[in-house]
Amino acid sequence: MLAGLICKGCGQPIMGSYVTALNAIWHPEHFVCAGCKQPIRDNHLNVDAHGQPYHAACFAQYAAPRCALCGKPLLGEFLIDQWGAKYCREHQKQYPMCAYCGRLVTPQQRAQDAHHENVRCPVCRRSAIETIQEAQPIFQQVKQWVGEQGLRYGNVRITLELCDYARLTHYLRSRFEPHALGVTVSSMYSEDGQLVSSTVDTIAVLHGLPLTLFRGVVAHELGHAWLTVYGIKNLSPWAEEGFCELLAFRYYGMLAGDEARYHVGRIARNPDPIYGEGFRRVQVIAERVGFAQLLETLRTTKHLPG
């Protein structure tokens, strides 16, 4: 007999055999599985995040995290995406990612959204901007915010068009922008080879974007529109896209919520040499001279501050 030993399960003294587990001592019949409530008699136990013990089989059934896509218990290694969803490793090779947020999309989810051109997850579909009536007031809000940042358009009326993928591709023409979700359509007028004026015809955005991304794409395109209105046409691609990405980045940074945070991170870490690298280079300049001065220098010299 071991004098003074108390079972952690029932709080009574232990007179006979006992088990030690989880830094405590128990009557063998009181060291029980949190799942099936039966004693755990072997060494194969699993402990959940709250320190509760389970038979190995019960852990899979009652306590293991479940795959967000197929519902199977996740044992051993599994994946966690940027949204905190957990899923089986193999799905990463099986399923495509949502074009807008990176979540994996199952064939069933895809089938429910077959009319949309890009792979889109149910979360993005829920907030999708599908009609110009929905889009218009949001466009005006973003334009007002952009104006508060110092990007004014004078008397130029900038219109919005929601378009399908074919029309977007048509607008993009020869520009190779495989991930473009919007485009600023402008006309140039030149005389004797000299550019005399440029006007913005429309900002076209792919229909069906989730709300937050739609706003960021509009902010980005309003950057292009501003450059066009002021005749700033000779920036390198990295400088122009970097400037427009900086605008979208600042807009997302002002919004609250997980989605905005996701896009802030996506822009900041974008490996693309034009969009990602361009953003980082323009951001360094903006931090050095201030955003207002960056605009002023662009307006007066048609170039980025040196």
Instruction: Return the number of the residue (2 or 196) whose C-beta is nearest Zn ion.
Output: 2
Where would I find the H helices in 151-273?
Answer: 165-172, 211-229, 237-254, 258-269
Strands 45-47 and 24-26: unpaired
Nearest approach in angstroms of CB 193 to Zn ion is: 26
Of 95, 100, 251, 279, the residue at the interface with Zn ion (CB under 5 A) is 100
Nearest approach in angstroms of CB 8 to Zn ion is: 8
Of 121, 158, 209, 248, the residue at the interface with Zn ion (CB under 5 A) is 121
Of 10, 80, 254, 292, the residue at the interface with Zn ion (CB under 5 A) is 10
Please list every residue from 123 through 182 that binds Zn ion, using CB under 5 A. 124
Nearest approach in angstroms of CB 299 to Zn ion is: 19
Of 19, 64, 98, 286, the residue at the interface with Zn ion (CB under 5 A) is 98
| Amino acid letter, residue 205 | V
Binding mask 20-39 toward Zn ion (x if CB under 5 A, else -) reads -------x--x--x-xx---
Q: Does 248 bind Zn ion (CB under 5 A)?
A: no
Binding mask 40-79 toward Zn ion (x if CB under 5 A, else -) reads ---------------x--x--------x-xx-x-------
Short-list 241, 235, 254, CA closest to 144: 254
- Specify the DSSP element, H or E, that contains 183: strand 182-191
Whether residue 140 contacts residue 152, with contact meaning beta carbons closer than 8 Å, is answered with no
Nearest approach in angstroms of CB 192 to Zn ion is: 30
Of 101, 135, 248, 286, the residue at the interface with Zn ion (CB under 5 A) is 101
Give the range of 235-243, 255-263, 265-273, 282-290 binding Zn ion by CB under 5 A. 235-243
Tell me the CB-side half-sphere exposure of residue 151, using CA atoms within 13 A: 26
3-class DSSP assignment, residue 74: coil
User: In this structure, what token pair is assigned to residue 129?
Assistant: 């901007």
Instruction: Return the number of the residue (121 or 151) whose C-beta is nearest Zn ion.
Output: 121
Give DSSP secondary structure letters for 156-169.
----EEEE-HHHHH
Give the range of 111-119, 159-167, 189-197, 244-252 binding Zn ion by CB under 5 A. 244-252
3-class DSSP assignment, residue 185: strand
Q: Residues in contact with Zn ion, total (CB under 5 A)?
A: 23
3-class DSSP assignment, residue 102: coil
If you ran DSSP here, which 8-state letter would residue 118 be given? Answer: S
Integer Cα distance of 110 and 108 in angstroms: 5
Integer Cα distance of 58 and 68 in angstroms: 20
3-class DSSP assignment, residue 142: helix
Nearest approach in angstroms of CB 191 to Zn ion is: 28
Site for Zn ion, rule CB under 5 A: 7, 9-10, 27, 30, 33, 35-36, 55, 58, 67, 69-70, 72, 88, 98, 100-101, 103, 121, 124, 241, 244
